[in-house]
Amino acid sequence: MNSTAVTIIILIAFIAIFVVISLRARQHNASTIDDYVVGGRSMNTALLLMSMGATYFSTWTLLGSFGVYYREGIWFAGFTTWAIIQGSVFIWLFGTRIWYIGKRFNFITPGQMVEHYYSSPTLRLLFSIVGIIALVPVMLIQVTGSARALESLTGGAIPYAVGVIVTSVVVGFIVLWAGFRGTAWADAFMGTFFATVLVFTAVFIIGKAGGWSFLQNVAEVEPQLLTNKGNPVAMLELWVGLSFGAWALPHMWQKFYSAHSAKVLGKVAMFTPFWNSWMMACIPLVIGLSANIPGLVPGAADNSDAILPLIFAEYAPILGSFVVAGILAAAISTINSQLLSSASLVAEDVWRRFFDKEMSEKRLRLVNKVVIGLITSIVLVLALSPSGAGYLVPVASLGFSLGLQLVPTALGMLYFRWITPAGALTGMVAGVITLFVSAATDFTLFFGPGISAIIVNALLVAVVSRFTQAAPVNGDNDYHALFAQLYGKQPTQKVTAHAIN
Amino acid sequence: MLTGMNRKLFWLVLILALIGSWLPYFNILNELVWVGPLSLPLAWVLTCNIVLTLCAIALYPLYFKPLSERIDAFERKEGGHE
């Protein structure tokens, strides 16, 4: 039996396991939209930790990040630091507040919170649309990345188009059937699987690269990679885009909603650095740098985004099947949350809110499922188009840059009472326009498109908020009074809770 | 009182470690000399990461646990009013 046949058999087995896990998790679902979209707000520490980790770290971790370390050296080590802050401090600063408001008012989408606080349906609609558009490129890189890896490892026996179709169909099917709980369990399984692949590969490649002296061996051929080349602005852009953009993206927002308690979020924050940084960010550093040693990873110079598949193609073609499965796992575990989230935004924030307010829960679930099918089809078509298969990082950064444009509006609800509905709306519109114009024309000022856009966004929020009316407070939506009490800055007062649709 | 001090210390350490991790970007601690098997800038960033990881662990007792207790108390009190 040749290695391609083995790869296909392993992939089929892997997908079968994945489907069984998802569908078993589905058996515990209650037939409510709350359960379908945010897991009934019952996620425990282990499940949420794995699910958030698997969602953060994706095809890009198994492909793009190796390539960046290979090309840029330890300049990219700032990413390991980002991974700690993003996974811990930001959960405290933003996650707990989002979780509490979501729980108190039974929100399942970020848009519901936006309308409730700002009393602005327009802002809710815009927030949701920007969120959906932001997720599309991030979903796209998962699909294109896994398809490229499949093609690369099998020497073209599994063509790119087949890889795209397999990934999209599997994700669409699982999300459709299993909802949030199923995707969370699938994330946990896949996270464990691709973490095992990473650890195994790191130990193997360090051994091949000279053991403890592997970095000194790298320095003999590419000494500049072992020092930092500077360019702090580029790293700052990455930090700002990924850090702020990531937590404001709808699928992460809904993960906060899904936590069972503040203590669960706290434990996730405590353990996340070990997963996000020490595992998922440091291992690519080790392997990506080692690949510079001549002869260690043949072909790395021509295709640095495929270092991991190339390692296995060279040393263990049979085991390489597991790498492909790991890459597929990484893709699916990221895209499933994003797909479910996008669909819930369309169904709840657009369809139900603006076209059918009296929609039953059963019908809402049906609309969710139809939208999941539609978005899967869109991603499939984009991934098959020539422009969908470019370098991974720039595409993903557009998604995070769009997510960044949501941040001032979100901060108005969570921290800054002075941000008005008109200010938030104007800033977000201007930020998105700036981002697209900047990306389309390659015109930037000192910073890249994402940072330039958020600067315009923030400035307009500040100026317009100065001259417009604050969000109407009726006691029910005064989040700041609520936070002041919960965070120990005011004596307890009564704040009533009423859910909205 | 002690918690307040601990929290100030927490943020001080966190911000210093965060700033520290950026020093090699400004060519500080950025020479190609070896600290064990690691180059100096990499060793430095990883040391900052260890400190930041300890900060992440400290977040739970310093912030999350007290918040959880306040939420429980708030909801009990709120339930009592209704």
CA A295 to chain B, closest CA, distance in angstroms equals 22
Tens of pLDDT, residue by residue over A295-342, are 999 988 888 888 888 888 788 877 777 777 777 777 887 888 888 999
Residue range A257-280, pLDDT digits in tens = 999 999 999 999 999 999 888 988
Q: How far apart are CA A378 and CA A488, in angstroms?
A: 47
Question: Which of A14-28, A97-111, A385-399, B18-32 is least confident?
Answer: A385-399
Residues 209-228 in A contacting B (C-alpha not used; CB under 8 Å): 212-216, 219, 223, 226-228
pLDDT number for residue A392: 47
- Tell me if chain A has a CB within 8 Å of the CB of B11: no
Question: Closest partner residue to A492 among B41, B52, B74, by Cβ?
Answer: B74
Tokens of A5: 């046949």
Say what the pLDDT of residue B81 is: 57
Hey, what domains does chain A have and what are their CATH numbers?
A: 3-383 (1.20.1730.10)
H helix intervals, A345-448: 353-354, 361-384, 392-404, 407-414, 421-441
Contact B46 A92 (CB under 8 A): no
Return the pLDDT at B18: 94
Q: What is the pLDDT of residues A225-258, one digit of tens each?
A: 999 998 898 888 888 877 776 788 899 999 999 9
Q: Which of B21, B25, B71 sits opposite A262 (nearest CB)?
A: B71
Q: Are A404 and A450 in contact (CB under 8 A)?
A: yes
CA A146, A148, A150, A152 dihedral sign is negative
Rounded Cα gap, residues B28 and B35, in angstroms: 15
What ipTM was estimated for this complex? 0.91
User: What per-residue confidence (pLDDT) applies to B77?
Assistant: 85
Each residue's pLDDT tens digit, A437-464? 887 787 766 677 888 899 999 999 999 9
CA distance A271 to A459: 36
Beta bridge partners of B35: B38
A184, A51 Cβ separation under 8 angstroms: yes
Q: Return the pLDDT at A63.
A: 73
Q: B59–A84: do the CB atoms touch at under 8 Å?
A: no
CB contacts under 8 A, A 244-303 vs B, are 261-263, 265-267, 269-270, 272-274, 277-278, 282
- In tens, the pLDDT along A100-135 reads 999 999 999 999 999 999 999 999 999 999 998 888
pLDDT at site B1: 57
pLDDT at A498: 43
The residue to which tokens 């087949």 are assigned: A162
- pLDDT, position A391: 47
- Rounded Cα gap, residues A449 and A440, in angstroms: 10
Measured CA distances, A386 to A124, A141, A159 (Å): 34, 13, 14
Cα–Cα distances (Å) from A26 to A23, A30, A34, A277, in that order, read: 5, 9, 14, 31
Contact A85 B18 (CB under 8 A): yes
pLDDT of residue A1: 60
Least confident residue range of A40-54, A98-112, A435-449, B8-22: A435-449
Structure tokens, A452: 């330039």
Consecutive H or E run containing A38? helix A33-38
The CB density around residue A440, as the number of other CB atoms within 10 Å, is 9
Residues A371 and A109: beta-carbon distance below 8 Å = no
* Mean of pLDDT values over B12-38: 95
- pLDDT exceeds cutoff 80 at B36: yes
Place of tokens 């929290």: B7
Q: b/e string for A314-351 if b means 16 or more Cβ within 10 A?
A: bebbebbbbbbbbbbbbbbbbbbbbbbbbbbbbbbbbb
Do A89 and B78 count as a contact with CB atoms less than 8 A apart? no
B30/A278 touch (CB, cutoff 8 Å), yes or no:
no
> What whole-number distance in Å separates Cα of residue A352 and Cα of residue A332?
28
Least confident of A35-44, A55-64, A296-305: A55-64
Q: Shortest CB distance from B56 goes to which of A261, A262, A270?
A: A270
What is the average pLDDT across A387-410?
Answer: 73
Nearest residue to A93 (alpha-carbon basis) of A415, A442, A405, A357? A415
All residues at 6 or more sequence positions from A211 whose CB lies less than 8 Å from its CB, including other chains: none
Cα distances (angstroms) measured from residue A497 to each of A100, A103, A110, A124: 12, 10, 17, 20
DSSP state of A259: B
**Nearest CB to A84 within list B37, B56, B74:** B56
